[in-house]
Chain A
Amino acid sequence: ETGVTQTPRHLVMGMTNKKSLKCEQHLGHNAMYWYKQSAKKPLELMFVYNFKEQTENNSVPSRFSPECPNSSHLFLHLHTLQPEDSALYLCASSQIADQETQYFGPGTRLLVL
């Protein structure tokens, strides 16, 4: 596999479910990001990890819980989500020294019922 991969690509969950989104990058990068893209809104940065350490949490509700076990893998654990959390969740990676040039995964389209 090359680039940035995300699984699953689509996810439907109820408000009481617990699920996890997975992201893996094969680019040797040391920074990883979670973004949320809702309809008709800009891409919103959620979390940033540099060298596995969280450096940014953009006022994200605690029902979203990120985990970065190593610089190649990033998870987003979801629990007790709301219907308004339905969106496209994009993972990205970059070098810390070049955080402007990010490489994105294809995203997970999440629907919360």
Chain B
Amino acid sequence: DQQVKQNSPSLSVQEGRISILNCDYTNSMFDYFLWYKKYPAEGPTFLISISSIKDKNEDGRFTVFLNKSAKHLSLHIVPSQPGDSAVYFCAASAWGNTPLVFGKGTRLSVIA
């Protein structure tokens, strides 16, 4: 059973608009969440993270929101740029430095 779910395999957004990528998790022991971004022919690269003691973390155009009661997090990209087109993976880990658990990824296409 998947512990980290990204239910949208793909998302298409116009340049300049907001991109919202969603992630749900089932394991209540998860306390640290990350987003990774992957371009074709490259490995995933770390983008932004959030600890369970916070509900929002912002880094430039990227903001991650965490709703612990709903076991849901989202990544907002504002404004979206064509260079943001990539696959975005949500990942989570539990207390104690346990291995990361990844979602299937969402392919974002930002159209100029």
Q: Mark B76-112, 1 if CB is under 8 A from A, else 0.
A: 0000000000000101010001111111110000000
Chain A: interface residue total (CB-CB under 8 A): 25
- Where the two chains meet, the residues of B that have a C-beta atom closer than 8 Å to any C-beta of A are 2, 4, 9, 32, 34, 36, 41-46, 49, 89, 91, 93, 97-105
A29 CA to B59 CA, complexed, in Å: 25
Q: Are A100 and B100 in contact (CB under 8 A)?
A: yes
* Option from B43, B89, B97 in Cβ contact (under 8 Å) with A97: B97
Closest to A55 in B: B99
Q: Name the B residues within 8 Å of A42 (CB-CB).
A: 2, 4, 89, 101-105
Q: Mark A74-107, 1 if CB is under 8 A from B, else 0.
A: 0000000000000000111000110111111111
Q: Name the A residues within 8 Å of B100 (CB-CB).
A: 45, 99-100, 102
